[in-house]
Amino acid sequence: ESITSKGYPEENHHVTTQDGYILTLQRIPHGRNQRSSNAPREVVLLQHGLMGESTNFLDNLANESLAYILADSGADVWLSNSRGNSYSRAHVHLKPSQEIFWDWSFDEMAQYDLPAVVDYILAETGVSQITYIGHSQGTLIGFAGFSRNQTLGSKVKLFVALAPVAKVGHIRNFMRFIAPFAYDIAFLYHLFGRGEIMSNKLDLFLAKDVCENIDILCENVIFLIGGFNPGNLNKTRIPVYVAHNPSGTSVRNLIHYAQGVRTDTFQKFDFRSAEENIRHYGQPTPPVYHPEEMQTPVAIFRGNNDYLADPTDVQWLLPKLQNVVFDKDITEWEHMDFVLGMDAPYQCYDDIKRLIFTNNTIY
């Protein structure tokens, strides 16, 4: 289902990162029943989570999907796609069939993808600051990027963190089973390969050949990453959800998460060699991220039933953040409720609209 099929204007943009990856952005410049105008709009960037894509913010009905709701409320909405997903599989000289194309983790998303996307949007719109809304890994690269790059952080007037992820020592999803092997990188590469994992090809097979007949299996695919709250899932939309999720990532990225589970530390990728770490970082151990150094105002939305953004890990993060302007704990929510939940418009999105459109002058 395309953006235009729902009556909204759509633009496609391409951004090249400093290390050569070509990312696809979708833009909804205004709402469905609004005409294009030169009137100033709040510029909002939506960044999907782990193994997700921009459609995560579009997959429900128009009055239930965050991207459409914000566009209809008066925002200029941009949707980013991280390197390696089904929309961002290009590079200036590498091909996805090459293992080296996949030699990255969320470190590179924070260091290269996020600054490139933010700077591109600022240049296109002419504004000096945007609102950044991240879900899952989208929050992680925000915490990593804004804390290490204060100039980047100053370009964001408000960071809305949905299911915030930083330290993942208490994660309860499938990555806990990989964690015991996180330091045996050679074994994991032998097991999974050095390239892509959980690609969109699996989704299309499930959506076409499985979900129409076995809904319960597809529900479990959706809940695999983040927890279970089946009563909040629109089962008629399951084939749509599974057609887009998971959307692929690199094996190295999953190994990085597994390292975080094992070390219970928010740090850069560990090459498991003092020599390699020195070559990449100038020190024998990977640098630690310091979210307490982030100055960007942040609004937190968290779920108590979240297997990826586990409440214990979120409680570690919260006191480290210097500029929390809003914090909401939605008791029964799991990880995907923030983008797919049927009650998301009134449990979460109404608050986001208020933060963006009513209180933006306080930031």
pTM equals 0.92
Domain that holds residue 123: 4-362
Of the candidates 95, 354, 334, the residue with the CA atom closest to the CA atom of residue 225? 334
Percent of the chain with pLDDT over 70: 88
Helix (H, G, I), strand (E, B) or coil at 218: helix
CB-CB contact of 174 with 210 (8 Å): no
Decide: 188 and 251 in contact? Cβ < 8 Å.
Answer: yes
Q: What is the overall mean pLDDT for the chain?
A: 90
**What pLDDT band is residue 360 in, cutting at 50, 70 and 90?**
low
Q: How confident is the model at residue 112 (pLDDT cuts 50, 70, 90)?
A: very high
What CATH number did the domain enclosing 336 receive? Answer: 3.40.50.1820
- Indicate which residue of 59, 306, 313, 337 is catalytic: 306
The confidence band for 220, taking pLDDT boundaries of 50, 70 and 90, is: low
Confidence (pLDDT) at 280: 98
pLDDT at 202 > cutoff 80: no
pLDDT of residue 143: 99
* pLDDT surpassing 70 at residue 240: yes
Q: What is the pLDDT of residue 339?
A: 96
Above 60 in pLDDT, residue 211? no
Q: SS3 for 288?
A: strand
Question: 115-135: per-residue pLDDT in tens?
Answer: 999 999 999 999 999 999 999
Residue 207: pLDDT band (50, 70, 90) is very low
Kindly tell me if the per-residue pLDDT of 39 is higher than 80.
no
Total domains, the chain: 1
Q: Of 136, 147, 247, 250, which is the active-site residue?
A: 136
pLDDT of residue 206: 46
Six-digit token pair at 172?
């309860």
Instruction: State yes or no: is 13 an active-site residue.
Output: no
Token pair for 186: 């050679």
Please name the residue that has the structure tokens 């809940």: 223
Which tokens in the block code for residue 340?
A: 């797919």
Whether 335 is catalytic: yes
**Element at 80 (helix H, strand E):** strand 75-80
Confirm whether 136 is a catalytic residue. Answer: yes
Q: Percentage of the chain surpassing pLDDT 90?
A: 73
Catalytic residue among 48, 244, 256, 335: 335
- Neighbour-count burial of 311, counting CB atoms closer than 10 A to its CB (0-12 exposed, 13-18 middle, 19+ buried): middle
Of the listed ranges 64-68, 163-167, 219-223, the least confidently predicted one is 219-223
Task: Encode pLDDT of 297-315 as tens digits.
Answer: 999 999 999 999 999 999 9
